[in-house]
Structure 1
Amino acid sequence: MQHLHGDVLESAVERVPAPDLAAAALVSREWLRAVRAALRRRMLRLPWLVVHVIHLRGQRRLAAAYDPRSGAWLAVPTAPPARHGATSPPQPHSHVRLMRGASGDRVCALSLSGLAVARDALGMDDDALVVALKAPGVWRVDPVLAAVGDRVVAMGGACRLALGDGEDTSAVEVHERGGWTHCGAVPTALRESAAAAATWLSTAATDQRVYVADRATGTASWFDPAKQQWGPTSRLRPDATVSTWGLAAGRAGAEKIILFGVKHADSRVVIRSWEVDGDSLSLSHGAAAAHDTMPSEMSERLFPHGDDGEEETSSPSIGVCGNTAGGYVYNAAVPATGAVLYELRRGGVEGGGVERWAWVACAPVVAEAEALGRVILACSPVGLHELADERLAH
């Protein structure tokens, strides 16, 4: 195999499962180039789904990553390798939060002393793989966090008891050049949700902006951290019967976002997607396609009926994470039910949304999570650096 060259080698490497690419890269320089080319092509496609399970009892964090190409889950190491004669310091897992980003979501630990952001997509616990920032000026319990270029945005979720004179629970701060800058508060229509917690907002990040939407009302806006200004505020409700909304980045080559909505209809759960123009926050023009509605067998698996077969009386609540190629929709209240992968149309089809849906079984670490634990779902391209970690288990 080491004698393969050129297009034949690249074609062979394309078929190598992602977890084995790190070993393939060690064969020779030419193999390394072929592996890097394969990863670049894969990164233009679907991101990996990464789940982080926070066990409050014992302060442990477990993680797993789903490779959409092979359809397999990998166990992710979440503790540094033991050092001879040394004991690793306890990890502040109770403060673990999610930071959205156009280049991939990252887990981070927020405390009064600072904000530690994982460098790698899988969030492996290693001091060398963490970016340490100062803590935001406003102490926040459950903020929206997003990375836009080399800037970090923190908004909402502030602790009322720790606010100073003139400070707002929905305050916005931008980190750049080593410090945080106060940028006022979120728009009035979103202020109540942002003040409460990030839990009530759906967030998406692109290369230029952070988009936020009220999960209950569909009211949305965007923030440009470079200009430190907000865009228009719009109530995105193409279907008034939808109970919960979610946002994700839209197709590449255009400032688009994808709006997801879930509702009960005729004793069924229906999940639908719409493409939204990122500048004006208006629905994109174009004929609706059948693929824009999730297949009913998948939406029913995400939100199954009760044991007695009766329809659930509570409103279904979805979570979404994705990038310009696609992403994942999941049951925000019960992540252990699994997830649905979606792939966006390519080629700049106006009004186009989802091209393909596929079921993703629940990760074992989620199924085994303790009742009081937290589950964080993220998505990101995964590169050779993460795959080369010898602790990554099939």
Structure 2
Amino acid sequence: MGVGVRGDELKQRRHQEAVGEVVGDGMESFAAMYLHGDVLESVVERMPAADLAATARVSREWLRAVRAALRRRPRRLPWLVVHLQGPRRRTAAYDPHSGAWVTVPAARHDTPSHVRLVQGASGDRVCALTLSGLAVAGDPLGKEEGVALKAPGLWRVDPVFAAVGARVVVLGGACQLALAEGEDASAVEVHENGSWTLCGPMPPALRESAAATWLSAAATDQRVYLTDRTNGWASWFDPAKLQWGPTCRLRPDAAVSSWGLAPGLAGTEQLILFGAKHAADQAANTVVIRAWQVDGDGLALVPGAAHDTMPSEMSERLFPRDDDEEDEVEMSPSIGVCGNAAGGYVYNKGEPANGAVLYELRDGQGSAVERWEWVPCAPAVEADPVGRVILACSPVGLDELSREPLAARTAAH
């Protein structure tokens, strides 16, 4: 004699089987059964990005809701990704939509203890340079084993790396002791179709600072831009044409002691120039950070565009006042910047554990920055303040999030 099953029970059982094992507890089962259509999409729009991958796996309807919500309200702002170099590599990522840090699980493949940054318009990647090759991570979080390239022709110890379209560019940073006669430490190489092409050196104004330590870089779909962090001399390199652009001094404020570059709005060769200086009132011992729009072609300030000033309460948190510091040994502020065509992050290059400031670009005329927002330090950096920190910036989407669930989320305050 068989066991009878009522129609409503059978319907519920089939629904639970379609949802699968992802829906485990009572609350998730309730949500899977009763959240549909516009209500479901409205809920998804408010979810942290780190939860979207798990949400999309609940059912086909939920996957469609996630995709519809992302099409209707794209999450433009890039994530801030922190790569901490210590006894072991650790990575954390800040989701600007939810205002929370997430811990990235350790990579399954072997990773070197010392990595560098490849900046690109579609997102930054970490890479490892050895005498035998260059390995570039396959995703912005550094979890996937990446692309293996030949090592550049010159051995470099502190180069600038950039990804411009399908090309990888390495600029400067060559080891002086390893140079042969006639080779230049500021030489440039472009990787395309499996091989490196040696190009001419950097412009004379940048050769004295031809290393990643002293240069700020920004990559677009066509060029890589460089500026000297201390004096503002700047130029650009086009890897498709293997040629340099004009060399100009970007110095709209003579009091600025530290400069940083980031890409401007998408579809234009525009840049955002950031500068940090001590306030005119020396007694206040505070730091002022400003941003200007720069035309990338001619490397000149955009006519009529006003500069933007970071709120003082945020710049003071990046560079906290030290009441015990003597005026005679007062250190100049040093800023770091990473960003893309939607926005990015400004931080204290000497003390990244102080936190960062998110900036969002304005899509229209007028000033460049629409808003500023404070980002606290990643818990992983607070736990290891002496570790070497690399800050990167990249969009993080469903593809990256679905490869492996991110670890516990830490809300930012």
Instruction: Report the TM-score when normalising by structure 1.
Output: 0.90
Counterpart in the other structure of 2:89: 61
C-alpha offsets along residues 276-326 of structure 1, whole Å, 9 cap, x if unaligned? 00111110022526xx10011111110011153766711000000000110
The within-5 A match list for 1:173-188 is 173-188=189-204
- Check if 1:147 corresponds to 2:163: yes
Counterpart in the other structure of 1:23: 54
Report the Cα distance in structure 1 between the residues aligned to 2:261 and 2:136, rounded to whole angstroms. Answer: 23
- Check if 1:345 corresponds to 2:362: yes
Report the Cα distance in structure 2 between the residues aligned to 1:32 and 1:386, rounded to whole angstroms. Answer: 15
Whether the 8 Å contact between 1:39 and 1:383 is mirrored in structure 2 is no
Counterpart in the other structure of 1:285: 303
Counterpart in the other structure of 2:220: 206
**Which residue, 318, 332, 343 being the options, matches 2:335?**
318
Counterpart in the other structure of 1:113: 132
Whether the 8 Å contact between 1:245 and 1:262 is mirrored in structure 2 is yes
- Check if 1:301 corresponds to 2:349: no
Amino acid corresponding to residue 144 of structure 1 in structure 2 = V
**Which residue, 99, 102, 122 being the options, matches 1:74?**
102
Shift of 1:40: 5.5
C-alpha offsets along residues 337-386 of structure 1, whole Å, 9 cap, x if unaligned? 1000101101x31x521110111100111112252x31100010001122
Shift of 1:189: 0.7
Amino acid corresponding to residue 294 of structure 1 in structure 2 = M
Report the Cα distance in structure 1 between the residues aligned to 2:344 and 2:72, rounded to whole angstroms. Answer: 17
Amino acid corresponding to residue 181 of structure 1 in structure 2 = T
Residue 108 of structure 1 aligns to a residue whose secondary structure is strand
| Structure 2 residues not aligned, in runs of 5+ | 1-30
Shift of 1:49: 0.4
C-alpha offsets along residues 176-219 of structure 1, whole Å, 9 cap, x if unaligned? 0011101111111111111xx21100000011110000000111
The structure-2 alpha-carbon separation of the partners of 1:5 and 1:230, relative to structure 1 and needing over 3 Å to count, comes to farther
Report the Cα distance in structure 2 between the residues aligned to 1:235 and 1:204, rounded to whole angstroms. Answer: 16
Whether the 8 Å contact between 1:221 and 1:232 is mirrored in structure 2 is yes
Identity %: 72
The within-5 A match list for 1:116-265 is 116-124=135-143, 126=144, 129-194=145-210, 197-265=211-279
Report the Cα distance in structure 1 between the residues aligned to 2:389 and 2:298, rounded to whole angstroms. Answer: 33
Whether the 8 Å contact between 1:193 and 1:214 is mirrored in structure 2 is yes
Shift of 1:21: 0.4
Report the Cα distance in structure 1 between the residues aligned to 2:175 and 2:325, rounded to whole angstroms. Answer: 42
Counterpart in the other structure of 1:336: 353
Larger radius of gyration: 2
Amino acid corresponding to residue 377 of structure 2 in structure 1 = C
Instruction: Report the TM-score when normalising by structure 2.
Output: 0.86
Shift of 1:41: 6.3
Report the Cα distance in structure 2 between the residues aligned to 1:249 and 1:42, rounded to whole angstroms. Answer: 23
The structure-2 alpha-carbon separation of the partners of 1:133 and 1:37, relative to structure 1 and needing over 3 Å to count, comes to farther
